[in-house]
Amino acid sequence: MKQRQPSLRLLSCISALVFCCASPAHAIVNGTSTASFTAVGELGSASGVLIADNWVLTAAHVANGLSVGSSRFDALGSASLIDAVYTFSNAAFPNNDIALVHLTTALDAATPILNDQVIKNNQAASLGTLTMATAQNQTPNGFATTLASGAVITNTEKNVTSTVNWLLTGGQAYLQGGDSGGALFKGAVSDSAGSLLLGIASAALTDDAGNSAGSAFVQVANYKSWINATMASSGQQAIWASSVPEPSTLALYALAGLGILALRTGHFGRNG
């Protein structure tokens, strides 16, 4: 049975979705400034997320505005110049809006864990509370909690269909200018260290009247092979984990043992 996707009528104006060049007074509407989220840093006029010592994950439309050798990534006082930019093939906003940036100097900061399980539309509601974080236009970072409202693979604007692989969020907190390349974490987290990174900020959504209708984050899980292959050139790699942890082998053996023991004693499934 074909899944019904959220109405794309919300994505009514491409110009409203591009926000890397805007200069708002603050970041994340209804967000809170914070000195945490050490892996989320300023990247040009937007944001990026440090996922290994020399590697930053960001939106492709952010990476397109960077200058190798002069642009830098700055995360809570730890900064490095950029010496290479890698955008996903066929990336042209909003199509495959994801990129990797290589840093000249390794940064010593605890990094997040990348989610390796693609979240489908019918799974979005079960994710519970999520946390969005940005490094732009707050002091120095900003964050807010939100909820997932769905997931879409493609988006059609003016008869042009793009592959977006977005996880959509709604609620009172939403992205605005300068938040591109920021992070979406699973859960209500207070730092990026060890948190599960679900997506990279790509677009602010509007309805037909131009009012905010949430935010869109590119799912990192869709690009796992490309991320791994690109980072392999430097011998580094990101850390991946599933958003729904699988039980370990030892845990499975323990559960099997308990089941056998219960069957032998005759108390499995009984009351009293």
Taking only the tens place, the pLDDT of each residue in 148-169 is: 999 999 999 889 999 999 999 9
Residue 162: inside a domain: yes
Q: What is the pLDDT of residue 260?
A: 32
Sign of the C-alpha dihedral, residues 46, 216, 113, 129?
A: positive
- Residues 73/104, Cβ–Cβ less than 8 Å: no
Evaluate whether residue 2 is within a structural domain. Answer: no
Do 166 and 203 meet the contact criterion of CB atoms below 8 Å apart? yes
> Tokens 């890698």 map to which residue?
86
- What is d(CA 193, CA 54) in angstroms, rounded to the nearest whole number? 16
**Does the residue 266 lie in any domain?**
no
Residue at 113 is within a domain: yes
| pLDDT of 84 above 80 | yes
- CATH number of the domain encompassing residue 223: 2.40.10.120
pLDDT of residue 172: 86
Per residue in 196-243, pLDDT tens?
Answer: 999 999 999 988 888 888 999 999 999 999 999 999 989 999 999 986
Whether the per-residue pLDDT at 16 is higher than 80: the answer is no
Q: What is the reported pLDDT for 270?
A: 33
Is 255 inside a domain boundary? no
- Say yes or no to pLDDT of 64 above 80: yes
Chain segment 88-128, per-residue pLDDT in tens: 998 999 999 999 999 999 998 899 999 999 999 999 999 99
Which residues fall within 8 angstroms of residue 191, CB to CB, at 6 or more apart? 36, 37, 38, 110
What pLDDT is attached to residue 69? Answer: 95
249 located within any domain: no
Number of domains into which the chain is organized: 1
